[in-house]
Structure 1
């Protein structure tokens, strides 16, 4: 019995490429039921088995209205609305209807691939031979699989459709390469660092978390500036979890991972406990990466062992340079330090911050200083950014035409792996490279 229902018109079901699912056959997927009309979808949801619904574009009713009706019919089911042109009005209507998730193209493809992997894993577990107590057999042994398949029952390696466990495993590996994977779980870890204070790390980290959360992702913001972190103030003095409780009791993240908004984790207002909290950063990042789609890590200006822990677990690290020439030199020293410590420089993204018409340091200057390395930039957003963030007006700031928010959104599109999936597999060569250094670690 299928557990997931896809509500879409005949054209979308017949041409999955329009949904970002090129190569899939939605009408032949055993774990997925489909409905073209709202009446058919509501009828299927009343039956047993369906626990989740994806509403795309039914042929006879507005998607938001169908999603709201399904939620009323089945409040226990997970109802997800899929829209490739979402707006603030649509998000408000979805929230008012208690719809569980609003997916854009990237998130929809990601959820589909996760469900596909889960179905493939469940299918393999049904065919996995159980070893006898008298003669235990390792489940991963190739010899035991052949021996188990030599009896009267047909072997899983010789299925009539030509798809065996080896093919399933290969497909699962291909899918996992497309999905963002964190260092300890499914979350993508992105850190924000600089070689000196005042470069804008806290502001960029807070804005990144807000923008990613607005896209429908579950986001955790870890303030690893253990002495003087101010992420809480920039998020409107929101409640936060402590690094100690997240590292030592990760079960506290259960409800936060499902809740809307950003989960903030910090050391609080106790700078004297920085040395005690530093050894807990590794466990805290692992716990957060296992529960959230994205983990944004803010760091302090003083480099120590905690920076090494954060960078080793980061898929990407934004290295900020402000409009001081001393900031350029400090960034160079940071990269040299990473090279001496054996930390790969591949995750780094060199970012020139506070770019304006009258800025002292241009992209060309920064690129030349780092041996013509590709660079990205963030425009100067002015005093409005910090004032509106501190006042809890993040929604108004993100919806405004502030240059910092706009340039940061463009930067995140290139940094996060979801952007390529959202474009239906667009060639990455069309996008400008951000940072392409190889590791300087000596063999």
Structure 2
């Protein structure tokens, strides 16, 4: 059995390497942009204070080696509440119980312009991610950016190039690589080491593509900067479904609309497609063929990869991996297999292992301090988002599409290639900072 597993692993890695796979097996050293002593705090600016942003902020405030010095949101109550939260938390550490050292901004550009900020966390709606991250990269800020990383494929490549040019330590918020009791990490390791034999198919159960936004216009609240919320997206009126007023604990439904996001397909797809591509060793590449389902079905689209693996959109929530010797299913609360020994036999000391990380934000902060690559770097975040965009393009055009994952263009298909990018609404542009 051990010989079969080892041989299967070697064959798998050979196939993925030949297909141009980007296995991120070890934390790659990054050129040192600046040095920082072990006792020096990392100064952080928080951009976007919705449900995800508040969670990130609370976690950052728990780290002794981090100082949150600024918060930003287009809605007054959210930014002022976040500012108060920061100052109260830090005041509790002071002998006199007083702390006034966190500024609140409406415009992210003012926060990014500060020379005393080392890094930023971007937790805005999806359509603002790249505009903000590009400005931060050009200003030399290390970046933690929520997923889905991008809204189109072209802007993702722009971001990858900027991060590399400016030597930024970047983490995409696909935290399944680090958390959830290591279930996803173990699943990837089992697959890498041949526990289900040769990987044949993967089913990823996530939601539907986005729809065109037809929400009615509502009066814009005085405490919301609607132009800054829209950013590069098409001009339209305010609606509370897109940008709820005040503090809230739900995830706003801007993500359902094509103008602002990639639907629930991209929302959870940014997690589960990430694990799927990681497991097949293609997390720095992509498929070569996209085949949508017949009729108007919103599930069943198929990706075909150069290594022979077929990836399907559809099925129960999470990832189902099917191989020649069994199946493995993993979601946030469960990992199951068709044969008990797939999961029960411990991995050996010589088996292939994933990059070590047990807390996603902590991994990023450690990498910022040590100037090394994080577990979900910008290229991986871009490639995972690209899978979601390719699926949405396939559902929109309803015909087979041939994709070149190196050139990031469709082959001889001008109509499809027009959907690879979207021009930002003036005066917004990818070159602004």
TM-score, normalization: structure 1?
A: 0.28
Instruction: Return the structure number with greater helix share.
Output: 1
TM-score, normalization: structure 2?
A: 0.28
Q: Which has the higher contact order (CA 8 A, sep 6+)?
A: 2
